[in-house]
Amino acid sequence: MNLNADFTHRAAVHAATTPWVPSPMQGVERKMLDRMGDEVARATTIVRYAPGSRFSAHVHDGGEEYLVLEGVFQDEHGDFPVGTYVRNPPGSRHAPRSDMGATILVKLWQFDPSDRMQVVVPSTERQPTASACEGVEEIALYKDAHERVRIELWSPGARVRLDGPGGMELFVVAGGFAEAGEEFGPNDWLRLPAGHVSEAVAGPDGARLWVKSGHLANPPKAPRT
């Protein structure tokens, strides 16, 4: 499957108009944002676990990162409440579940192959710091030579320059913004290609965003299976 797989073009997905698709495991559903591949895929997805659902134990050959959007996500390593950002590097293994139900934003097969750093950041427990852009604060989640990941807090009406030399993605956790005449609200996703420059304007309630940049400098490839 190829979905939003041309990374030289802007791509947007609105959660309210995107259907939930059953996964191979009962009680686990997905809204696909971008995808290259079938069940083993380079993918960006919203995943919803019904209470008591689980996925079989598996290895993440290409790595996995996720942000908990609702509920409590769990595996044998712990419980991860709303706002937790986790990176499970290539070669890591777990058996995910949710006793009470959970929704996560998850990205698969998007790690540098040599990355072996395990990361767990409880973002809701961290204080934001001012950024270089007026009206924007940040909570750092991860940074290396290839990418930077953070939570951005936009003040109501803030005008934000979106300038990602290596491409960028924005996922709305709360609030909303407008960009290129398009409105984005909770759980909506926008991907901008490398070299794209535009301006976004935060809505009347501001915006809380998960933002990743720099990772699209080189054309992404589907995993080898």
pLDDT of residue 56: 87
Taking 3-state DSSP, the helix, strand and coil percentages for the chain, each rounded to the nearest 5, stand at 5, 55, 40
Structure pTM? 0.97
Q: What domains appear along the chain, each with residue ranges and CATH number?
A: 18-122 (2.60.120.10), 126-213 (2.60.120.10)
Cα 64 from Cα 86, distance rounded (Å): 8
Decide if 197 contacts 149 (C-beta within 8 A): no
Condensed to tens digits (0 to 9), the pLDDT of residues 32-60 reads 999 998 888 999 999 999 999 998 898 98
| pLDDT lower than 50: segments of the chain | none
Output phi, psi for 16, to 5 deg: -65, -25
How buried is residue 57: exposed, middle or buried, by Cβ count under 10 Å (0-12/13-18/19+)? exposed
For residue 212, the one-letter residue type is K
pLDDT of residue 225: 62
DSSP type of residue 73: E
pLDDT of residue 219: 86
* CA dihedral sign of residues 4, 9, 12, 17: negative
Decide if 91 contacts 61 (C-beta within 8 A): yes
Cα 32 from Cα 46, distance rounded (Å): 6
Decide if 102 contacts 84 (C-beta within 8 A): no
